[in-house]
Structure 1
Amino acid sequence: MEPVPSTVARPTRGRVVMLVDNGVDGDSRVQKAARSAAEAGWEVILVGILKGPATEETWRIGDAEVRLIRVPRRIPHPVTYRRALLRRPLAYRPGPDGKRRMNKLRAWRDDLNFRLSEIKVAREAGGSRGAELAGKARLAAPYFVNRALFQWVKFRSQELSRLQDRQQDPDSTLDRLALKFWQTTKGDRAWRKLDPELWDFELAFAPVVDELEPDLIHAHDFRMLGVGARAALRARAGGRDVKLVWDAHEFVPGIIGRPKNLRWLPAQIAYVREHAPYADAVMTVSSTLADLLRETHGLAEQPAVVLNAPPGTLTAEQRALPVPDIRALCGIGPTTPLLVYCGGINPSRGVDIMIRGLTRMPDAHVALVSVHPNGKVPIMEELEELAAELGVADRVHLLPYVPHWQVSSFVSPADVGVIPIHHKPNHELALITKFFEYAHGRLPMVVSDVKTMAEATRATGQGEVFTAEDLDDYLRAVRAVLADPQRYRAAYDQPGVLDRWTWEAQARVMDEVYSRLLPGRPPLPPAEPATGPVDPADDLVAPRR
């Protein structure tokens, strides 16, 4: 890999390498952080994960360079390859062996069928009855053996499936004992045994980060914390004082884990606990989470709060891209009540309550701005089926994502912005992105009573709070907002409400963290504005393979 050239033509305050465990596209916080840091004079290289067939991609967000790399699966979890002779002695070894044997038997059976067809064709062409019977007799034993072996291989394959299901059973006594053993004997180092797949990130990112020689590493979320901590320590051991910023997007113990993997969440918690002490500074998404992180990890100072707020001003390239008309996409006029939800959908997001509510609001429509460029996810099809069963399918509109800087303008023609999330640990802790996007669209809100968001909504008066998963209370809140929308919109006229909820305000906090860690690097004068015609594609350049 050739050294990365400077991402900006003018001098920089230092090189910042941002790390993220996704493909960047679709992660608005990461995109905004990279762009803003570059605008503040830092040389920014954002390293993420490549999902396509190429080995590497590079593109740009403003003056920040994005580099996507492959993360091969090099150290699979033992459950994917280990045998358990005491549990299922007849099970195949995990891997392709059972499928390969099954396919060989199918090929043999097809060959026997071919030979049987030859015998039948020969008989129809005038061959003797005796020759036909003799030929079939020769095939009888192979047919019997093939069928018996097929049943044997099928049984052993099923034994492997049963074993793997048992190994993933959160109620398995043996696996609970194993989990307790590793936690007791290794402490926070137990993640190496509980989820060795975490090493895949280290093995892929480490050589890239080392080659870039950053002055500061900005690790987005928990998987990159370990990668960043190890890179910073390697650099310090080599005589370079590299600073590490951990950007905690969520509280790891509050993650809704993988219910069929008893080891996954304890592994992530241990991984974070081991590496958190190496962060020179921590930033996070809310003051509630900042308090929790400081208490949990014994941090010397309070994490800086960088909210997931939308930009208050747009670049020329962003302004040049037309904003779609949400009501036109829904096929409705300006007076039809429209409830909107933006973002990903899963059962804990509670979106089904919006569809159920339509059965008692015959004039209202629901827009779900949730369709990823890769297409619908299965739960969206389930919601469509629910809407059809309830007879409201013509009033439910699944719409594609728009660029993150357009969300507020896109949803502003709606009547209500809805956030119906359920009570889950991380849902209680943050003001989520759509909360601020609705606010900048000056939308009245209807939000569930998760702690931080409900408190903010009640404090500003910008919407109504309902009891999560309570359809009657949800309908009460929606009807209250629809009856007097201006009362709730007026909350945004209060001095400072929207000003403090802009990304520009958050970017200043982030720059203050960088500047404190790397003193003596004052902000540079703004770059000269570009001249010439504006091309919207220049803002988020298509990946170069």
Structure 2
Amino acid sequence: MEPVPSSVPPTRGRVVMLVDNGVNGDSRVQKAARSAADAGWEVILLGIRGASPEETWRIGDAEVRLIKVARRLSHPVTYRRALLRRPLAYRPGRQANRRVQKMKVWRADLQFRLAEATAAAREGGSRWAFLATRARLAAPLVTATVLARWTKFRAGELTRLQQRQQDPTSTIDRLAMRFWQSTMGDRSWRRLDPELWDYEMAFGPVIDELKPDLIHANDFRMLGVGARAAMRARARGRRLKLVWDAHEFVPGIIGRPTNPRWLPAQIAYVREHAPYADAVMTVSPTLADLLREMHDLPEQPAVVLNAPPRTLTADQRALPVPDLRALCGVSASTPLLVYCGGINPSRGVDIMIRGLTELTDAHVALVSLHPNGKIKAMEELEELAAQLGVADRVHLLPYVPHWQVSRFLAPADLGVIPIHHKPNHELALITKFFEYAHARLPMVVSDVKTMAEATRATGQGEVFRAEDLTDYLRAVRAVLADPQRYRAAYDRAGVLDQWTWEAQARVMDEVYSRLLPDAPPSRLAEPTGAVEAVPAR
């Protein structure tokens, strides 16, 4: 793939950013790539090509390349036969379904031939010919029936084996996991989740060819990819620095119920590769403390918040912002509660739907619809709204570009963050917190640690007990009764200035510059003026 020409000559060094997604929809990564390029670095952002027809484009002066990640190394469960447990099970893969289907086809063909002979006899054909055909087909039909039952049994044994292998209480699998953990330590991820190698096989050769001066590895999967690339470069005598941008606390990730090995594998993977990072960045001071303690880091990770930009580019300004209230079909006097972001059970969005039974004149806007369409959790919310008789006051709206979010949400009366108590929910001010703040929306947030503390400190909203409908209604009614009291928090000097992407980009650039001290000075301009005003309600 030929690089796309850049309008800015690369004078400070080449930065290769890595991310394990398709880039679109990841606002933090997009902003980081643009800002690093604005600072004078030559930026190439490598992501994963899924269904997107595009392989390369630009974000400002940063180049984006999507590469294909072949899923060749399956999880051990997909190929392990476990002969002692289900010795008659088919080998995992397509063999079982293919055998069952072949038996169905064989029986269907024999039955067709018998039906053909039967029909001919009924219509005046030779009875002797019919009997001869039936006799000729008797043995194959019996054989096909027996073999069909046998293949169905073996396929069922495979299904039962796989179900048992996914049982986190299975003694055999727990012993196997403990064996690999005790004998291999942090290298055990190679046995517990070898699919992690697929990222290395896809990204590694591309990184080596690009010969970067610095790798910016976003989140935990790319940490190992970046670490190995850095070691290969240093073995060849090249200076290459690695920055790990930790987006979340891996031990706090909600694991996969059907795969108890997944989370221990990711934890081991991160522990093995964290020492190779020359610098660490993360999303909150609380997470920075955890990372330093867990990985015995020599210095405190830099904190780069995923805040909205202070100002927009000309191209971003040129794109019209949709009218939130028009899309919901409500007037300016209608109380409008908004939630922006992904939906799953731990996000707690159902409390907003349930609350409408008491907030009889309010509407809820869920800015959550992905271009790929609805997910099961969204459909369940719609079903809940219908059951409660409030479906006409629930509006499911599509995402807008990340730089439009605050302006799009500004016409609402308040922003809601109803997330449940989960380890990673306690640690950071999440993206929508900053987006609501830049929209100057009063907030109603659940009492997860970091966001509750920030909300109480600034006075920009009310805190309620997570999953407590009565307390949620109290908080919403308090805000709707006196919204200007909460909006006034944003008028205090410095409240929004500290929550701008421009301020975070300078922190990121300082990390780069410290690791590459011989690079020319940054091109980032000092931020001037106040945060661009969002039209007030």
- Say whether the fold is shared (TM-score over 0.5): yes
1:22 matched to 2:21: yes
Q: What is the aligned counterpart of 1:327 among 325, 328, 343?
A: 325
Alignment of 1:64-213 (within 5 A): 64-213=62-211
Give, in whole Å, the separation in 2 of the partners of 1:380 and 1:526. 41
Match for residue 302 of structure 2?
A: 304
Q: What is the aligned counterpart of 2:358 among 347, 357, 360?
A: 360
Contact 2:385 2:394 in 1 (8 A): yes
Give, in whole Å, the separation in 1 of the partners of 2:63 and 2:6. 6
Which consecutive unaligned segments of at least 5 residues does structure 2 have?
Answer: 526-537
Which consecutive unaligned segments of at least 5 residues does structure 1 have?
Answer: 528-545
Letter in structure 2 aligned against 1:365? H
Contact 1:45 1:67 in 2 (8 A): yes
Deviation digits for residues 38-92 of structure 1 (CA, Å, limit 9, x no counterpart): 01111000000000286x7111111100000001012212211111111011111
Alignment of 1:443-454 (within 5 A): 443-454=441-452
Give, in whole Å, the separation in 2 of the partners of 1:321 and 1:53. 22
Give, in whole Å, the separation in 2 of the partners of 1:349 and 1:523. 43
Letter in structure 2 aligned against 1:156? R
Residue 512 (structure 1) shift: 0.6
Alignment of 1:277-296 (within 5 A): 277-296=275-294
Q: Per the alignment, do residues 63 and 110 of structure 1 end up closer, same or farther by CA in structure 2, a change over 3 Å counting? A: same
Give, in whole Å, the separation in 1 of the partners of 2:21 and 2:300. 27
Letter in structure 2 aligned against 1:476? R
Match for residue 505 of structure 2?
A: 507
Letter in structure 2 aligned against 1:370? S
Contact 2:8 2:40 in 1 (8 A): no
Letter in structure 1 aligned against 2:159? S
Give, in whole Å, the separation in 1 of the partners of 2:149 and 2:362. 57
SS of the residue corresponding to residue 360 of structure 1 reads: coil
Match for residue 491 of structure 1?
A: 489
Letter in structure 1 aligned against 2:48? I
Give, in whole Å, the separation in 2 of the partners of 1:170 and 1:112. 44
Residue 7 (structure 1) shift: 3.2
User: Which structure ranks higher in relative contact order (CA pairs < 8 Å, sequence separation ≥ 6)?
Assistant: 1
Deviation digits for residues 153-192 of structure 1 (CA, Å, limit 9, x no counterpart): 1111111111111111111111111111111111111111
Q: Per the alignment, do residues 53 and 402 of structure 1 end up closer, same or farther by CA in structure 2, a change over 3 Å counting? A: closer
Contact 1:354 1:366 in 2 (8 A): yes
Q: What is the aligned counterpart of 1:417 among 415, 418, 423?
A: 415
Match for residue 239 of structure 2?
A: 241
Residue 124 (structure 1) shift: 4.1
Match for residue 38 of structure 2?
A: 39
Match for residue 477 of structure 1?
A: 475
Contact 2:506 2:524 in 1 (8 A): no
Give, in whole Å, the separation in 1 of the partners of 2:329 and 2:211. 53
Give, in whole Å, the separation in 2 of the partners of 1:240 and 1:161. 50
Contact 2:8 2:61 in 1 (8 A): no
SS of the residue corresponding to residue 203 of structure 2 reads: helix
Match for residue 373 of structure 1?
A: 371
Deviation digits for residues 432-462 of structure 1 (CA, Å, limit 9, x no counterpart): 0000000000000000000000000000000
Give, in whole Å, the separation in 2 of the partners of 1:443 and 1:502. 16
Match for residue 430 of structure 2?
A: 432
Deviation digits for residues 375-415 of structure 1 (CA, Å, limit 9, x no counterpart): 11111111111111111111111110000000000011011
Q: Alignment length, in residue pairs?
A: 525
Contact 1:12 1:524 in 2 (8 A): no
Deviation digits for residues 233-255 of structure 1 (CA, Å, limit 9, x no counterpart): 11111111101100000000000
Letter in structure 1 aligned against 2:199? F
Match for residue 532 of structure 2?
A: none
Give, in whole Å, the separation in 2 of the partners of 1:118 and 1:163. 41
Contact 1:8 1:43 in 2 (8 A): no
Bigger CA drift: 303-312 or 174-183?
A: 174-183
Contact 2:369 2:397 in 1 (8 A): yes
Give, in whole Å, the separation in 2 of the partners of 1:377 and 1:461. 35
Contact 1:7 1:44 in 2 (8 A): no
User: Over aligned residues, Cα RMSD in angstroms?
Assistant: 1.5
Deviation digits for residues 87-134 of structure 1 (CA, Å, limit 9, x no counterpart): 011111111111111111111122113212321332244213343344
Give, in whole Å, the separation in 2 of the partners of 1:163 and 1:341. 42
SS of the residue corresponding to residue 357 of structure 2 reads: helix
- Percent identity, aligned pairs only, is 79
SS of the residue corresponding to residue 294 of structure 1 reads: helix
SS of the residue corresponding to residue 359 of structure 1 reads: coil
Give, in whole Å, the separation in 1 of the partners of 2:99 and 2:463. 59
Give, in whole Å, the separation in 2 of the partners of 1:116 and 1:394. 59
